[in-house]
């Protein structure tokens, strides 16, 4: 759960506010941060430099959110090396420290980042920040973009509060949080969001597209089937005499079904030959919008083509089998 502290905040009682939150039954942990963990643009800063950096490297903007201790544990980010920000250190000590992710380590080109110094701030008077930990790469934003370098800095007093709840206790915890919030922020409503809902909102357009695709796929199946059914009935009607003559000459029901189905099968195979490459190109183009995407296997398209053939055979088979079972004399009675 995430909520923002509104109004004029008395930062002198910030620790009291946070400790009160943590004492609520059902709250596993709580921390605070600035900005949104799902929007890197809110925390973009430049002015980072380190030994061996390219000359223009200070002008590159990096996500650099600030948060207090227990944030990494609350969100569930995994530590790869070193330590997280801890409440056992003073604010001055932690503000001179920094945590980086794996992508930042690769960008810096170092093997042992813990203990190294990073400079941050104006070029004429940058502040030293010692790397105390490395976290595993995590998605700081949407899957549309690759995980890039992130510099995590310490901010003991931030407006955005993150609370990790025990499953099944949400209703009671929200009521307690609302009551505590009212005491510290009188006159302001308690407005909260769940992180998983915000994360899903990043893919609202994809979710809408998925729903629409299901409807369009259903329509795309029903209309061709109706068309095939009507065309098969028309074909049987126009070839009644031919079917009767073939049956008199000894053609079996299977021969008649194959005869009437052959032309439709050729047309569907032609459509599959044209459609599958186009669908592959369309799918590849759409997947290019995502930095992390599935690999398109050949059998995805082969299965779709085979399913289209089965659907064609089933649809026209109803008419052709019915026609093949009619007595030849009925077709030739007017001759």
Lowest mean pLDDT among 34-43, 91-100, 119-128, 218-227: 34-43
How far apart are the C-alpha atoms of 250 and 253, rounded to whole Å? Answer: 10
pLDDT of residue 328: 56
Average pLDDT of span 310-316: 84
Select, from the ranges 9-13, 37-41, 57-61, 260-264, the one with the highest average predicted confidence (pLDDT).
9-13
Report the candidate in 67, 9, 79 with the shortest Cα–Cα distance to residue 33.
67
Average pLDDT of span 2-26: 89
Lowest mean pLDDT among 85-94, 121-130, 144-153, 241-250: 241-250
pLDDT of residue 154: 92
Domain segments of the chain as ranges: 2-201, 204-332
pLDDT of residue 332: 56
CB 162 within 8 A of CB 2: yes
Does 38 score more than 90 pLDDT?
no
pLDDT of residue 61: 86
pLDDT of residue 324: 67
Average pLDDT of span 64-78: 90
CB 151 within 8 A of CB 98: yes
| pTM tops 0.85 | no
Going by pLDDT thresholds of 50, 70 and 90, the confidence category of residue 334 is low
Does 198 score more than 90 pLDDT?
no
Lowest mean pLDDT among 70-74, 101-105, 122-126, 276-280: 122-126
Going by pLDDT thresholds of 50, 70 and 90, the confidence category of residue 176 is very high
Percent of the chain with pLDDT over 70: 95
CB 240 within 8 A of CB 331: yes
Average pLDDT of span 120-139: 89
**Helix, strand, coil percent values for the chain (each to nearest 5):** 50, 15, 35
- Quote the distance between the C-alpha of residue 95 and its chain's center: 34
The SS3 of residue 51 is: coil
pLDDT of residue 321: 75
The SS3 of residue 39 is: coil
- Quote the distance between the C-alpha of residue 290 and its chain's center: 9
Lowest mean pLDDT among 90-104, 150-164, 215-229, 269-283: 215-229
Average pLDDT of span 177-189: 90
How far apart are the C-alpha atoms of 98 and 115, rounded to whole Å? Answer: 10
Average pLDDT, the chain: 84
pLDDT of residue 89: 84
């Amino acid at each position: 759960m995430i909520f923002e502290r509104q109004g004029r905040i008395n930062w002198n009682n910030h620790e009291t506010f946070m400790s009160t939150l943590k004492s609520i039954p059902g709250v596993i942990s709580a921390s605070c941060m600035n900005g949104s963990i799902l929007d890197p643009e809110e925390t973009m800063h430049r002015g980072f430099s380190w030994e061996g950096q390219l000359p223009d490297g200070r002008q590159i903007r990096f996500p650099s959110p600030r948060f207090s201790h227990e944030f990494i544990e609350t969100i569930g980010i995994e530590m790869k090396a070193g330590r997280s920000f801890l409440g056992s250190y003073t604010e001055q000590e932690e503000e001179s420290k920094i945590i980086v992710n794996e992508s930042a380590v690769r960008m810096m080109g170092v093997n042992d980042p813990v203990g190294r110094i990073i400079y941050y701030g104006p070029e004429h008077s940058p502040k030293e920040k010692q790397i105390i930990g490395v976290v595993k790469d995590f998605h700081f934003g949407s899957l549309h973009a690759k995980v890039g370098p992130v510099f995590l800095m310490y901010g003991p007093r931030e407006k955005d509060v993150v609370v990790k709840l025990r499953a099944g206790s949400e209703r009671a915890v929200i009521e307690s949080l609302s009551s505590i919030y009212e005491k510290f922020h009188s006159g302001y409503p308690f407005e909260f969001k769940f992180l998983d809902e915000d994360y899903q909102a990043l893919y609202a357009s994809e979710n809408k597209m998925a729903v629409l695709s299901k409807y369009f796929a259903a329509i795309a199946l029903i209309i061709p089937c109706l068309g095939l059914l009507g065309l098969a009935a028309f074909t049987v009607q126009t070839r009644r005499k031919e079917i009767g003559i073939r049956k008199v000459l000894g053609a079996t029901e299977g021969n008649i079904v194959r005869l009437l189905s052959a032309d439709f099968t050729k047309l569907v195979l032609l459509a599959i030959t044209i459609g599958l490459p186009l669908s592959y190109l369309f799918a590849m183009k759409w997947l290019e919008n995502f930095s992390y995407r599935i690999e398109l296997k050949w059998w995805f398209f082969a299965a779709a083509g085979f399913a289209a053939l089965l659907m064609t055979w089933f649809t026209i088979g109803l008419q052709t089998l019915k026609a093949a079972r009619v007595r030849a004399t009925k077709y030739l009675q007017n001759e």
